[in-house]
Amino acid sequence: MLTGIGIILLTFVVMEGVAWLMHKYVLHGFLWFLHKSHHTHHKHAFELNDLFFAYYGLLAMLFFILGSEPLDYRFWIGAGITLYGIAYFVIHDVFIHRRLKLFGKTSNVYLKALNMAHKVHHKVHGKYGSESFGMLWVSPRYFRSAYQILKKQEQEKRGSVHH
């Protein structure tokens, strides 16, 4: 069981690298025609980009099926991909893009930095020129900026209480 948990965690970490590479070289590459729906403003709930979620879901299911009888490492890889998909949905779709209105503003430095990095990525509406392609890993410069912004907001709150 510990081996299975280790494989799940390792797969989860590796998926961040896979997501970064796929986002930079595939989504902003030859599959831009699908991903560009994510970089344009629209009023409908779904985008062509959501097909990538289905792709990773099918990939995870394949690992589950191939690793289920007898239970082997592939099953745990499928679990790691699934766990990453859940994290992706909650962080990217719910928290950052607010596709479900569940979270308000945050005072968490990591989440603020993550949100800032993603907003910088979306400043560019075209195929080329974007940065910050990962989902969970955030460049230290965004941490510094997020910390400064939250610190300033806290000082302004304290200042308005004293007046």
The helix/strand count (H/E) of the chain reads as 6, 0
Q: Give me the pLDDT at residue 161, please.
A: 62
Question: Cα-flanking dihedrals φ and ψ of residue 45, to 5°?
Answer: -70, -35
Note down pLDDT in tens along the chain; length 163 residues. Answer: 899 999 999 999 999 999 999 999 999 999 999 888 888 877 777 888 888 889 999 999 999 999 999 999 999 999 999 999 999 888 888 887 777 777 777 788 888 898 889 888 888 778 888 888 888 888 888 889 998 999 988 888 887 665 5
Domain count, the chain: 1
Q: Give me the pLDDT at residue 4, please.
A: 95
C-alpha 51/C-alpha 89 separation (Å) is 13
Amino acid at 146: A
Residue with tokens 């719910």: 94
49, burial (CB in 10 Å: exposed 0-12, middle 13-18, buried 19+): middle
Q: Give me the pLDDT at residue 162, please.
A: 59
Q: What is the domain extent for residue 142?
A: 2-162
C-alpha 107/C-alpha 104 separation (Å) is 10
Cis peptide bond upstream of 140, omega within 30: no
Q: Is 68 helix (H, G, I), strand (E, B) or coil?
A: strand
Residue 134: partners with Cβ closer than 8 Å, 6 or more residues away? 16, 19, 20, 23, 117
